[in-house]
């Protein structure tokens, strides 16, 4: 399988990316959740590449190896504009990319496809995100992200313990090397999350919870095939959230993944990837020739 690691420019920032598959194949962009990196998508992206797609996974602005925003702009509009820029660079021979966005990446996808550029993508898949989110669940996620933001962790082991407490349904990994991709070690020897601390104050000040009406209208205005994948044990997307979403987008596809919480791909990557692949195949079959 072809694999490439490089960078793409978007809105004046340099974004780190990895790609899998044949560049001539239909493109798919993966946009991760807040506080994550592109490595969260590795297994899904590789599987879709084997299915015949060209998968591109990004570190969003302020995350992973991508540039931090010097002006602190981590608004949904900024993330959305980045995705539109990337989509333009990946569109070849008139083939627009499919977009898969989880949590923050999904909110950015709603803004991008429903507000800013309705013709930029071939389809949109939202992973455990909807305009009507559970406020307590949002507070829990934001609280976890904000904890240890300044002091960090004294070791990878301590970080693993904190994550295991937050995700008790997952076994604590014995091999902690994977954590190195989500943490960075400072000159003081402590480990901190691999994202700009200003991200918390930037994007969370413009939280989607306070912009529900705008996001609802954006979902109504998405004119490409739409797919919502929910973790059945989600802290953010309740059954009521799904009902409200399906009223906004009655033609949208819906997949409910048993045994998964908010981070669906991390909990049940096999079921998640199968659902994405099946949806993209259907979109391809129904696309006008």
- Residue boundaries of the structural domains of the chain: 3-134+207-286
Q: How far apart are CA 139 and CA 121, in angstroms?
A: 31
Specify the CATH number of the domain 3-134+207-286: 3.40.50.1820
pLDDT at residue number 137: 77
What tens digit of pLDDT does each residue of 139-158 get?
Answer: 777 778 777 888 889 998 89
Q: How far apart are CA 87 and CA 244, in angstroms?
A: 29
pTM of structure: 0.91
Do residues 251 and 223 lie in contact, with contact meaning Cβ atoms separated by under 8 Å? Answer: no
What tens digit of pLDDT does each residue of 51-94 get?
Answer: 999 999 999 999 999 999 999 889 899 999 999 999 999 986 67
Do residues 56 and 29 lie in contact, with contact meaning Cβ atoms separated by under 8 Å? Answer: yes
pLDDT at residue number 237: 95
- Checking phi first, is residue 64 left (phi over 0); if not, alpha (psi -120 to 50) or beta? left
Phi, psi of 7 (to 5 degrees): -140, 155
pLDDT at residue number 209: 43
Mark the ranges of the chain whose per-residue pLDDT is less than 50. 207-209
Q: Is 241 helix (H, G, I), strand (E, B) or coil?
A: helix
């Amino acid at each position: 399988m072809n694999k490439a690691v490089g960078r793409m420019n978007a809105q004046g920032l340099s974004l780190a990316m990895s790609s899998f598959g044949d560049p001539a194949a239909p493109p798919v962009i993966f946009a991760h959740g807040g506080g994550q990196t592109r490595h969260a998508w590795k297994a899904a992206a590789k599987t879709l590449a084997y299915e015949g797609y060209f998968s591109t996974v990004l570190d969003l602005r302020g995350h992973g190896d991508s540039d931090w925003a010097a002006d602190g702009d981590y608004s949904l509009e900024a993330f959305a504009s980045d995705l539109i820029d990337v989509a333009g660079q990946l569109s070849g021979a008139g083939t627009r990319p499919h977009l898969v966005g989880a949590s923050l990446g999904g909110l950015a996808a709603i803004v991008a496809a429903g507000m800013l550029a309705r013709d930029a993508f071939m389809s949109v898949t939202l992973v455990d995100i909807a305009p009507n989110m559970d406020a307590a669940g949002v507070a829990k996620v934001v609280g976890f992200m904000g904890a240890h933001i300044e002091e960090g962790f004294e070791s990878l082991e301590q970080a693993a313990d904190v994550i295991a407490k937050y995700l008790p349904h997952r076994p604590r990994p014995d091999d902690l090397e994977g954590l190195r991709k989500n943490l960075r070690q400072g000159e003081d020897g402590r480990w901190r999350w691999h994202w700009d601390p200003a991200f918390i104050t930037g994007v969370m000040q413009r939280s989607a919870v306070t912009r529900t009406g705008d996001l609802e209208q954006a979902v109504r205005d998405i004119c490409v095939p739409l797919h919502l994948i929910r973790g059945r044990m989600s802290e953010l997307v309740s059954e009521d959230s799904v009902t409200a979403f399906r009223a906004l987008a009655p033609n949208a596809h819906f997949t409910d993944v048993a045994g998964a919480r908010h981070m669906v791909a991390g909990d049940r990557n096999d079921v998640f990837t199968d659902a994405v692949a099946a949806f993209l195949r259907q979109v391809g079959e129904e696309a006008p020739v």
